[in-house]
Structure 1
Amino acid sequence: MNISAAMVKDLRLKTGAGMMDCKKALIEAEGDLDKAVDILRKKGIAKAAKKADRVASEGAITIEISDDYKCATISEINSETDFVAQNDNFQALVKKATKHIHVTAPDTVEDLLETEIDGIKFEEFMKAQIAKIGENIIVRRFDRICVEGNGVVNGYLHMGGKIGVIVAAVCDKPEVCDSIKDILKDIAMHIAAMNPKYLDESSIPESVIEKEKEIAVAQLEKEGKPANIIEKILPGKIKKFVEENTLLGQKFVKDDKKTVRQVLEEAAKKAGGTAKIVEFVRYELGEGIEKKGCSFAEEVAQQLGE
């Protein structure tokens, strides 16, 4: 059967597969476009499976904020290389996947894989995307913050998705929530830059405080300070630790004369009420992932072996 260039083009647009793959699939399907799509999907899924053991440590962090600023979702979707992470197809994929996560609100990645997107299981959708893009791609993690009543969320993406933050606050009046949306985005930017470990002093586990006390005492003893002096210095050292490691205690990145707590309180007071931050989530791309070392020659050999 004669396979025209137009048929190949249609199949390529539909699947994103290469021209020769499309032509071979059309010949095998005797010109039936739908059958050719199935053939490519089956081959693509097999190809995707071969890539599944590769370390995906690049990619993008994406956030989705609901129109009413009541819910925010953050996700990290990884690719193997930064080159693919900058690809338009990958960027479209992460936005679509994050929006899907935002709407379906699964509890875990395993639950996400069972959800339906574009009429198929999310797991199959991802396999098709891996085949199309040509690298292992995984949804590594996601979180969602929602508030009810007088609450508001916002978020911030840094360096094109290398760091992402979502943050939530509660207010005493709806108009205060509406008024502090922008400052909440600035606070999300602060979190991206300063990476606070805790929200406030009450969020710090007692074991962490005790450990800091032990370290401080050891340092002061090494300096030759007597016990009675150490007892006087210790509270100040712990106070400094709390200020430096809690969001509300840190100096605001855009105005270091004020703490984040003071900046939020002033913004809420200006709007005629009060507000307090209740939760935040900060993702940094690839944190905790051990990247595999691979020489250029090994990479070429791997490619040729496929």
Structure 2
Amino acid sequence: MTGPSSRLAQPVARAFQYIGNRISHLEILPTGVRAFGSSAPESSVALIRQLRERTGAPMKDVKSVLVQCDWDSEAAYTELRKKGLAAAGKKASRVAADGLLGVAQESRAAAVVEINSETDFVARNDLFQHLVSQVAKAALLAESSPGSAGEAAVINMEALESASVELSHPKLSGRSTVSDAVAEVASIMGENVKLRRGFHMSSSSGFVYSYLHSSTHSGLARVVGLLSLEPQESPSDSQSGSDPAELSTLGESLAMHIVAQRPLFLSKDLVAEEALQHERNILTSQALASGKPANVVEKMVSGRLSKYVQEVALLQQKYVLDESKTVQAVLNDASKQLQRQYSIGRFLRMEVGEGIQREEKNFAAEVAAQAA
């Protein structure tokens, strides 16, 4: 006859055996995050990324549903749709031409990134703004390729997207890649959010200055001007850690000039031949249309082409705060006061949405379509 203690021992033993089997499959990650190693396929990360891009759903929900559906991507997609987490229309197909520029700056280096949204409403959201600020900080350390003479370095976007970023916002916190952080914010905002481009500028012996136009928060703006001021080499003080106040004032005012006057090239010598030829063709056509003799046309084109160069070359432009002087003259005057020659090494003007074709909507047709 089996006693009460024997009858109790059997289920307890089976319970311990079950727990032992589960523990044998449990993987303890270095970070303390637990995951069942046998339940997820080797391609789990790829599955999560693919389903997330397809649905726009938050990563934690994508992973949870994939586990629930035994890593069956189609079944998980259906389940996300049932939960209302899969977007009915793919957000990535919608034009994102609004957004913000984020600037992270040190005395000798600065990085600027553009993150786009579909509407100004999202661009004014504090979560979106937090994302832009944190990505700009990550961009300071990102890999970049040298720009042409006088231009900022171009940040490698693949490297930046893979970089680590720390978010600490009530709606989204923790460490992830930049790419994942952008996708999470897009999912929360319900809009297409894209990291579009980034630039880096640094100086080994000079300083980098910026001007942020229409900036309502530190490090955020819709138009940004950057430039580096380089001193004439001097072994005794080239490694000085701080810049004179007068130089800082000059740098910031020149950055503001860049925003206002939209230069395309650093100096007349760096104006691209392609740009000159394009402008020359236009001016020649205009002059010939006036019916002037060929020798007069040649002089007209030469004069107008010279004026064009003065308008697009930064050093030859009239200084926005004193149009009686060129930018080069302002630099020369400041150098005399500072008793050291300074020159502009590189510059950048960047504006949200420039170059993006905005979608033109026919509101009447949209209303009619919805009423049909």
Aligned residue in 2 for 1:155: 210
For residues 84 and 251 of structure 1, the distance between their equivalents in structure 2, rounded to whole angstroms, comes to 37
Secondary structure of the residue aligned to 1:59 is strand
Corresponding position of 2:260: 193
Q: Does the 8 Å CA contact 1:48/1:127 hold for their aligned counterparts? A: no
Q: Give unmatched runs, 5+ long, in structure 1.
A: 1-35, 301-306
Query: Which residue of 206, 211, 226 corresponds with 2:293?
Result: 226
What amino acid maps onto 1:289 in structure 2?
I
Larger mean Cα displacement after TM superposition, 247-256 or 169-178: 169-178
- Scaled by the length of structure 2, what TM-score is found? 0.63
**How many angstroms apart in 2 are the aligned matches of 1:214 and 1:155?**
36
AA aligned opposite 1:169: L
1:233 Cα shift?
4.5
C-alpha contact (below 8 Å) 1:153/1:181 kept by paired residues: no
1:84-99 correspondence to structure 2 within 5 Å: 84-99=122-137
Which residue of the other structure, out of 341, 357, 368, is the alignment partner of 1:274?
Answer: 341
For the aligned residue pairs, the C-alpha RMSD in angstroms reads: 3.2
| CA separation of 1:45 and 1:297: change in aligned 2, threshold 3 A | farther
What's the CA shift for 1:101?
A: 1.2
TM-score by length of 1: 0.76
Q: What secondary structure does 1:131 align onto? A: helix
Q: 1:130 aligns with which of 180, 186, 195?
A: 186
Give the C-alpha shift of residue 46 in structure 1.
Answer: 5.1
Q: Distance in 1 between matches of 2:186 and 2:273?
A: 45
1:105-184 pair list within 5 angstroms: 105=143, 107-118=155-166, 119-149=175-205, 151-160=206-215, 161-172=221-232, 174=238, 178=244, 179-184=246-251
Select the structure with the greater relative contact order (CA < 8 A; seq sep ≥ 6).
Answer: 1
Q: Of the candidates 85, 91, 94, which is equivalent to residue 54 of structure 1?
A: 94
Contact 2:139 2:160 in 1 (8 A): yes
Compared CA separation, residues 53 and 259, structure 1 to 2 (3 A): same
Which one has a bigger Cα radius of gyration? Answer: 2
Question: Which residue of structure 1 lines up, in the alignment, with residue 60 of structure 2?
Answer: 38
Q: Is 249-258 or 199-208 further displaced after alignment? A: 199-208
**In structure 1, C-alpha distance between the alignment counterparts of 2:102 and 2:88, rounded to whole Å:** 23
Structure 2 residue runs without a partner (length 5+): 1-57, 65-79, 145-154, 167-174, 216-220, 368-372
Instruction: State the alpha-carbon separation in 2 of the partners of residues 126 and 219 from structure 1.
Output: 48
Q: Which amino acid in structure 1 is aligned with residue 158 of structure 2?
A: E
Q: Are the structure 2 counterparts of residues 147 and 207 from structure 1 closer, same or farther at C-alpha, using a change threshold of 3 Å? A: same
More helix by share: 1
Partner SS state of residue 104, structure 1: coil
